[in-house]
Every structure is written in structure tokens, then in C-alpha cells.
């Protein structure tokens, strides 16, 4: 099958070229993201393969459909960037990689917590300049702290397991409770109670109309002073201007984010010689207690391999008319 890959980087090419060794699919790699401006590139392709910041709004979907695209495969789990209403009624399918390595994202959330807390990034830089002072590097013990986990699906469960190992008390919130976690003694609570009790809050829910700006002023007001907020889910789950205000007021004591609402304009690119015109992220970068990574939670060898193998299988299943469990339901 002829497939156009969008938003590709060297690592995408490396993994897909290696695992598509029998050349079952003819892949054309585009570095450009897919959106209404680049939709014309899809002419002549049966399928397109996209990532988190490609934007399939209704106009783009109409254009790619007219170009003959019958299949959209996502190299990721979340599909909030695809307008499913626009896909409905067209002869077009959407397949994703529902699970590739929940451990990768959960472990990255823990990396953000440990770095923010024990300031290893600052210690590293200091010591490279022969500054062996401990001034301002004091952290806190994780053991005994209360960690609030919003969203206890695959990643949330892994994250809970790790944090339990640190001796933390876990309070969870989800629309559906996990029996596995309850058997381990994890307590589910309504959101206001979780916000009120937690020393650390970690977001592991998808971006939906209900979770859009879930963490805004009203939620922040209910949190403990000095709380640590971690977001590895989707940027728009938090209202960034409200979070900035809370950082300035010292209500939020630490912020670790791997995702950012306006990340499509920034992430996955080297902008080190460019003028950043996004005043929200530049303001965030002025806080000493903010740690930002550029959507790298998924970025492990194991996850890349799994994403590649599942994506190739998704393409083959579609081509062979096999009904796949990875198909996104279109109502
Ligand atoms: P999942 O579908 O297994 O779990 C999501 C959980 O959130 C479910 O248990 C669901 O019931 C819950 N949820 C949905 N709406 C909720 C609400 N309003 N309040 C509380 N809980 C709610 O998904 P998984 O695999 O655990 O991934 C979670 C999210 O992590 C993804 O949707 C994606 O946005 C993000 N992600 C980030 C990555 C990164 O590289 N930073 C990589 C992969 C996923």
C-alpha cells in the first residue's frame, strides 16, 4: 500500500525502514505536519500515517478524502487531533496504536517528579562548573507523601505502581475504577478531595471535552499550597495561564510538563536560533521550579518498536480486510 507519513523525524525513518524490511508497504516520508495547508501532499496515497500534532480538522479530512485517502493510521494512542465527525459518513477508517509502552510514559512522569524535587538538572550544571555548593538544592522525601492520580488507565496504573514503590499514599480519580488498583489498597475519591489532599498531582487522562482545562483556577484553588503538578497527558488538560498565575502566587510549588496546549507550533523542532513568539511558554521558562520536556514521554526504544510494529500491522490489516481491534470507533 502507498502510505504518506507526516511529521517524520530520523527515528521514525530508522524504525520503519528496519521493520518494514520486506517492503510490504511503500512509505513516503514527509517532514511537514499534515494540516489543511499540506493536505495536497496526500494525492496518490491510499493511506496516511500521522502523529500527535498533525491536525485533521474537517477541512483537511475533506481534502484528503477527495485525494483518495481511505485510511488514517496514528503512530500514537490519542486521537483528539482527528475530527471524527468529519470522518463519519465517508468511506474512511482511522486506526491507532492504543497501547505501546505505558511504562515509558509513567516512568517519564516519575523522571519529572524526581528531577523537580531533587534538582538533579541543576546539580549537573553546577558541578560541571566546579560549583559543589548544596545551596537551594533541598528536596523532600517522596515516602509518605500523597500522590493524586487523575486517570487510571494503562499509564495511570503503571504510574501508581511505581509511586507505591516509593512509599507514597495514592489517591485516584477516574470515571471507571480499576479493581487491580483497589486490590492494592488504592482509594478512589471525587476530584475535589483528590485536589485537596495531594502533595503531587499527576494527570493521565485523555483530552476530551470533559477534561479540557480540567486544571484551571477553580481546581487550583482547591489544591494544597506548594503542590507539585505533573502533566504527561495532553497540554490542554491544564489551563496554562491559570497555572502561571498560581506559580507566580507560589500556590503551585513545582510544575513538570511533557505536553503543552500550543505545542504544535514548537515541539519536535530545533528552534534554538529562532525568536519564540509564544509568550506563554517563554513566561513558563522564567520559573526556576518549572521543568518542560517536549513530548518525549513515549520516547523509548521499546515504545518506538511497538509503535512501528503495530502501525505496520494496522496497515496490513486494512489492506487485507481484517477487522482490527485498533480501529477508532466512528459514530
Ligand atoms: P487509557 O485510555 O488507558 O486511560 C485513560 C484513563 O483516563 C481511563 O481510565 C479513563 O477512564 C480516564 N478518564 C477519561 N476521562 C476522564 C475524566 N474526565 N476524569 C478522570 N479520568 C478520566 O489511556 P493511557 O494509555 O493510559 O493514556 C493516557 C493519556 O496519556 C493519553 O490519552 C494521551 O493523551 C497521553 N499520552 C501521552 C504520551 C506522551 O508521550 N506524553 C504518550 C501516550 C499517551
**What pLDDT sits at residue 21?**
86
Q: What is the per-residue pLDDT across 104-136, written as a single tens digit (0 to 9) for each?
A: 999 999 999 999 999 999 999 999 999 999 999
User: 55, 53, 28, 31: which is closest to 42 by C-alpha?
Assistant: 28
Q: Is the CB of 293 under 6 A from ligand 1?
A: no
**What pLDDT sits at residue 277?**
96
128 part of the active site: no
Would you say residue 331 has pLDDT above 90? no
Q: What is the per-residue pLDDT across 47-75, written as a single tens digit (0 to 9) for each?
A: 999 999 999 999 999 999 999 999 999 99
Q: What is the per-residue pLDDT across 199-227, written as a single tens digit (0 to 9) for each?
A: 999 999 999 999 999 999 999 999 999 99
Mutate to test the pocket of ligand 1, among 78, 82, 206 (most ligand atoms within 8 A of CB): 206
Of the pLDDT bands very low, low, confident and very high (cuts 50, 70, 90), residue 15 is very high
**What pLDDT sits at residue 304?**
97
pTM given for the model: 0.93
The percent of the chain in helix, strand and coil, each rounded to the nearest 5, is 35, 15, 45
Give the Cα separation of 16 and 304 in Å (integer). 9
Distance between Cα 134 and ligand 1 center (Å): 38
In whole numbers, what is the pLDDT of the chain averaged over residues?
Answer: 97
Distance between Cα 102 and ligand 1 center (Å): 10
Provide the phi-psi class of 31: left if phi over 0, else alpha when psi is between -120 and 50, else beta: alpha
Percent of the chain with pLDDT over 70: 100
Of the pLDDT bands very low, low, confident and very high (cuts 50, 70, 90), residue 23 is confident
204 part of the active site: no
269 part of the active site: no
Q: What is the per-residue pLDDT across 260-286, written as a single tens digit (0 to 9) for each?
A: 999 999 999 999 999 999 999 999 999
What residues does each domain of the chain span? 2-100+300-319, 102-292
Q: Which atom of ligand 1 is nearest to the CA of 205?
A: 7
Give the Cα separation of 219 and 259 in Å (integer). 19
Where do the DSSP E strands lie in 134-237? Answer: 146-150, 169-173, 187-188, 200-203, 227-231
Please name the residues in contact with 24: beta carbons below 8 A apart, sequence gap of 6 or more: 312, 315, 316
Active-site residue, selected from the candidate residues 75, 169, 173, 295: 295
Q: Is the CB of 156 under 6 A from ligand 1?
A: yes
Mutate to test the pocket of ligand 1, among 110, 151, 154 (most ligand atoms within 8 A of CB): 151
Q: Is the CB of 153 under 6 A from ligand 1?
A: yes
Give the Cα separation of 317 and 76 in Å (integer). 17
**What pLDDT sits at residue 286?**
98
Of the pLDDT bands very low, low, confident and very high (cuts 50, 70, 90), residue 22 is confident
Assigned fold of 2-100+300-319 = Rossmann fold (3.40.50)
First to last CA, the chain: 26
Would you say residue 258 has pLDDT above 90? yes
- CATH tag for 102-292 (out of 3.40.50.300, 3.40.630.30, 3.30.530.20, 3.40.50.720): 3.40.50.720
Of the pLDDT bands very low, low, confident and very high (cuts 50, 70, 90), residue 148 is very high
Among protein residues, the one with the nearest Cα to ligand 1's atom 33 is 233
Q: What is the per-residue pLDDT across 174-200, written as a single tens digit (0 to 9) for each?
A: 999 999 999 999 999 999 999 999 999
Could you tell me the sign of the dihedral formed by the alpha carbons of 46, 50, 56, 59, in that order?
negative
Among protein residues, the one with the nearest Cα to ligand 1's atom 9 is 153
**What pLDDT sits at residue 43?**
97
Distance between Cα 153 and ligand 1 center (Å): 6
User: 231, 277, 227: which is closest to 247 by C-alpha?
Assistant: 227
**What pLDDT sits at residue 54?**
96
CB burial of residue 269 (10 Å; 0-12, 13-18, 19+): exposed
Amino acid at each position: 500500500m502507498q502510505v504518506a507519513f507526516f511529521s517524520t523525524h530520523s527515528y521514525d525513518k530508522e524504525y520503519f525502514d528496519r521493520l518494514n524490511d520486506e517492503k510490504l508497504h511503500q512509505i513516503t516520508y514527509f517532514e511537514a505536519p499534515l494540516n489543511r495547508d499540506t493536505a495536497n501532499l496526500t494525492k496518490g496515497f491510499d493511506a496516511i500515517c500521522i502523529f500527535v500534532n498533525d491536525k485533521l480538522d474537517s477541512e483537511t479530512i475533506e481534502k484528503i478524502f477527495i485525494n483518495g485517502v481511505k485510511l488514517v493510521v496514528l503512530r500514537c494512542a490519542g486521537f483528539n487531533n482527528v475530527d471524527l465527525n468529519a470522518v463519519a459518513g465517508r468511506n474512511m477508517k482511522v486506526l491507532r496504536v492504543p497501547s505501546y509502552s505505558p511504562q515509558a510514559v509513567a516512568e517519564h512522569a516519575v523522571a519529572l517528579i524526581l528531577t523537580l524535587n531533587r534538582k538533579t538538572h541543576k546539580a549537573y550544571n553546577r558541578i560541571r562548573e566546579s560549583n559543589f555548593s548544596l545551596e537551594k538544592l533541598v528536596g523532600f522525601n517522596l515516602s509518605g507523601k500523597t500522590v493524586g492520580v487523575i486517570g487510571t488507565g494503562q499509564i495511570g496504573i503503571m504510574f501508581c505502581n511505581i509511586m507505591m514503590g516509593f512509599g507514597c499514599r495514592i489517591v485516584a480519580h477516574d470515571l471507571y475504577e480499576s479493581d487491580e488498583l483497589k486490590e492494592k489498597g488504592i482509594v478512589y475519591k471525587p476530584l475535589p478531595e483528590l485536589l485537596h489532599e495531594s502533595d503531587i498531582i499527576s494527570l493521565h487522562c485523555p483530552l476530551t471535552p470533559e477534561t479540557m482545562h480540567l486544571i484551571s483556577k477553580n481546581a487550583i484553588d482547591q489544591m494544597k499550597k506548594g503542590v507539585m503538578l505533573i502533566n504527561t497527558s495532553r497540554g490542554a488538560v491544564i489551563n496554562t495561564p491559570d497555572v502561571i498565575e498560581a506559580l507566580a502566587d507560589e500556590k503551585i510549588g513545582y510544575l513538570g510538563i511533557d505536553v503543552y496546549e500550543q505545542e504544535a507550533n514548537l515541539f519536535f523542532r530545533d528552534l534554538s536560533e529562532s525568536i519564540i513568539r509564544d509568550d506563554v511558554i517563554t513566561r513558563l521558562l522564567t520559573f526556576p521550579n518549572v521543568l518542560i520536556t517536549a513530548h518525549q514521554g513515549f520516547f523509548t526504544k521499546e515504545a518506538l518498536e511497538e509503535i512501528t510494529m503495530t502501525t505496520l500491522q494496522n496497515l496490513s490489516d486494512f489492506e487485507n480486510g481484517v477487522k482490527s481491534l485498533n480501529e477508532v470507533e466512528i459514530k
